[in-house]
């Protein structure tokens, strides 16, 4: 992995965070569903009285029969989605992440995952970046909850472009998928060019062996996947299940981030550069399956790592990397640095205040990197 940000189609402005155009990942939701329905996907969205916030209302406005609003009844939301998937629909669920995963955990476990249904768990408002609504609404355990479920795949898009890709991938891939979306406006890291490039796009995502190496997947360019599936995966460009993207190459430390933290990690790399530290930044778009090859390769090269997520330190990305390192002893020469929320609930405040208070911002990441080194 020697690609630079520019090679990957990153927007030129991305290294200067303040100048970057911003958009919330949730804003990709409804509009991408509209695009997929227009392409012929048999998609329905089932939401629970939050269609404006999740943006599924955009789908309902264009295709009224494709949006089911069950009211404030999240358990029923998952059940109805499950039933519709049994009739052949690709069912996307909504609500906020705290309710759309935590409140309905048993429904997701025992109905969606146990029956391996074609239900996509795509709530919005994940993480502490929900802001002023406070701890009750700041979901910090969802990656952990979804990651441990058999049959579930977990995508954590870092920006609007990758959020669109995640939704397309989810639609084009049979079985349960969790896509973590946020409320906050976050820098757009990837250009449309990257999202629409044909880079590794043609593999047959219907295949169950998604965790397998990219090499295997590339054999399928003329595969006989369902046409719609192929469309969806092509449109997902450089994003795929089990694939992390190296956004900045470096030699001294690997900053391995997901979601909103990717932008902060890029900013931290700039800070670290001023300290003479060369940081590599990796966007772990797919938490499960995990791109072990890219992540291990980077850590082998740098010998040090900091994980970055707006999620509990337990169960999420940090845990996934710790598990990977435990299975590969000797790769990491330094203690695992972890940026995340340390066993406490969130609180009401503006996002910048929260990311300072909970030590999730660029300064916190660069400080952690320096302490690890």
Partner 1 sequence: MLFNEEEVRKSATQLRKDIINMISKSGSGHPGGSLSAADIMAVLFFGDVMRYSAANPQLPDRDRLILSKGHAAPVLYAALARAGYFQPEELGTLRQLGSRLQGHPDSQKLPGVEVSTGSLGQGLSIACGLALALEAGGNDFAGVDEPGGNDFAGVGEPCGVGFVGNAAGGDEAVGVVGGADAVDAGVLGAAGGTTDVPKKSPLKSFSSNSRRVFVLLGDGECQEGQVWEAVMFAAHKRLKNLIAIVDNNKLQIDGSVSAICNLDNLNTKFSAFGWQVQEIDGHDVNAIKLALEYATNSEFEGPRVIIAHTIKGKGVSFMQGECGWHGKAPSEEQRLAALAELDDGSLISQSLTSGGTL
Question: Binding to partner 1 (CB under 8 A): which residues in 220-259?
Answer: 226, 228
Q: Give the C-alpha separation, 170 to 288, whole Å.
A: 13
Pick the stretch among 81-89, 233-241, 258-266, 267-275 that binds partner 1 (CB under 8 A). 81-89
CB 70, min distance to partner 1, A: 6
Q: Give the C-alpha separation, 114 to 151, whole Å.
A: 8
Question: Binding to partner 1 (CB under 8 A): which residues in 112-141?
Answer: 114-118
Dihedral over Cα of 99, 102, 107, 113: its sign: positive
Q: Give the C-alpha separation, 139 to 312, whole Å.
A: 9
Task: Please identify which residue in 106, 219, 342, 350 interacts with partner 1, judged by CB under 8 A.
Answer: 106
CB atoms within 10 A of CB 27: 19
Residue 212 sits in the site that holds partner 1 (CB under 8 A): no
| Cβ 94 vs Cβ 46: under 8 Å | yes
Residue 90 sits in the site that holds partner 1 (CB under 8 A): yes
CB 128, min distance to partner 1, A: 29
Residue 170 sits in the site that holds partner 1 (CB under 8 A): no
Question: Binding to partner 1 (CB under 8 A): which residues in 49-68?
Answer: 65, 68
Residue 85 sits in the site that holds partner 1 (CB under 8 A): yes
Instruction: Using the minimum distance from each CB to partner 1, give the nearer residue, 81 or 360.
Output: 81
Task: Please identify which residue in 1, 3, 73, 325 interacts with partner 1, judged by CB under 8 A.
Answer: 73
Task: Please identify which residue in 25, 55, 107, 138 interacts with partner 1, judged by CB under 8 A.
Answer: 107
CB 239, min distance to partner 1, A: 22
Q: Give the C-alpha separation, 271 to 253, whole Å.
A: 13
* Number of residues engaging partner 1 in binding (CB under 8 A): 38
CB 106, min distance to partner 1, A: 6
Q: Give the C-alpha separation, 140 to 296, whole Å.
A: 26
Across-strand partners of 126?
139
Residue closest to 145 by CA, chosen among 157, 154, 133:
154
CB 87, min distance to partner 1, A: 3
Residue 176 sits in the site that holds partner 1 (CB under 8 A): no
CB 143, min distance to partner 1, A: 23
CB 218, min distance to partner 1, A: 25
CB 144, min distance to partner 1, A: 20
Residue 343 sits in the site that holds partner 1 (CB under 8 A): no
Q: Give the C-alpha separation, 22 to 258, whole Å.
A: 17
Residue 88 sits in the site that holds partner 1 (CB under 8 A): yes
Residue 213 sits in the site that holds partner 1 (CB under 8 A): no
Alpha helices in the chain (DSSP H): 27-38, 51-54, 56-62, 74-86, 97, 105-106, 142-147, 160-172, 192-196, 214-217, 227-235, 261-274, 292-302, 317-327, 351-357, 362-372
DSSP assignment of 55-80: SHHHHHHH-GGGEEE--S-HHHHHHH
Which residues lie near partner 1 (CB under 8 A)?
40-42, 44, 46, 65, 68, 70-71, 73, 75-76, 78-91, 106-107, 109-111, 114-118, 226, 228
């Amino acid at each position: 992995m020697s690609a630079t940000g520019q090679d990957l189609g990153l927007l030129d402005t991305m290294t200067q965070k303040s100048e970057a155009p911003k958009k919330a990942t949730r804003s990709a939701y409804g509009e991408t569903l509209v695009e997929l329905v227009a392409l012929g996907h048999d998609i329905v969205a089932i939401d629970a009285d939050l269609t404006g916030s999740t943006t599924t209302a955009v789908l309902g406005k264009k295709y009224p029969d494709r949006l089911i609003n069950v009211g404030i009844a999240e358990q029923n939301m998952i059940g109805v989605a499950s039933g519709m998937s049994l009739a052949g629909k690709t069912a996307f669920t909504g609500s906020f992440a705290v309710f759309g995963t935590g409140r309905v955990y048993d429904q997701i476990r025992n109905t969606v995952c146990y029956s391996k249904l074609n239900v996509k768990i795509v709530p919005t408002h994940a993480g502490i970046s929900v802001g002023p609504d406070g701890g009750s609404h700041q979901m910090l355990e969802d990656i952990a909850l979804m990651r441990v479920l058999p049959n579930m795949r977990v995508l954590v898009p870092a920006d609007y472009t990758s959020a669109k890709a995640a939704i397309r991938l989810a639609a084009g891939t049979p079985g349960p998928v969790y896509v973590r979306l946020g409320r906050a406006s976050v820098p757009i890291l990837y250009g449309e060019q990257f999202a629409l490039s044909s880079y590794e796009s043609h593999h047959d995502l219907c295949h169950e062996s998604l965790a397998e190496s990219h090499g295997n997947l590339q054999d399928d360019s003329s595969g006989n996947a369902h046409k719609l599936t192929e469309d969806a995966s092509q449109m997902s460009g450089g994003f795929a299940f089990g694939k992390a993207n190296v956004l900045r190459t470096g030699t001294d430390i690997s900053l391995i981030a997901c979601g909103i933290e990717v932008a902060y990690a890029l900013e931290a790399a700039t800070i670290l550069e001023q300290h003479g530290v060369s940081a590599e930044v990796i966007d772990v778009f797919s938490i499960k399956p995990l791109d072990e090859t890219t992540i291990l390769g980077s850590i082998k090269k740098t010998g040090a790592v900091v994980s970055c997520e707006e999620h509990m330190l337990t169960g999420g990305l940090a845990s996934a990397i710790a598990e990977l390192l435990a299975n590969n002893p000797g790769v990491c020469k330094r203690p695992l640095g972890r940026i995340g929320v340390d066993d406490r609930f969130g609180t009401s405040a503006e996002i910048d205040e929260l990311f300072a208070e909970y030590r999730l911002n660029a300064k916190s990441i660069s400080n952690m990197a320096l302490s690890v080194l």
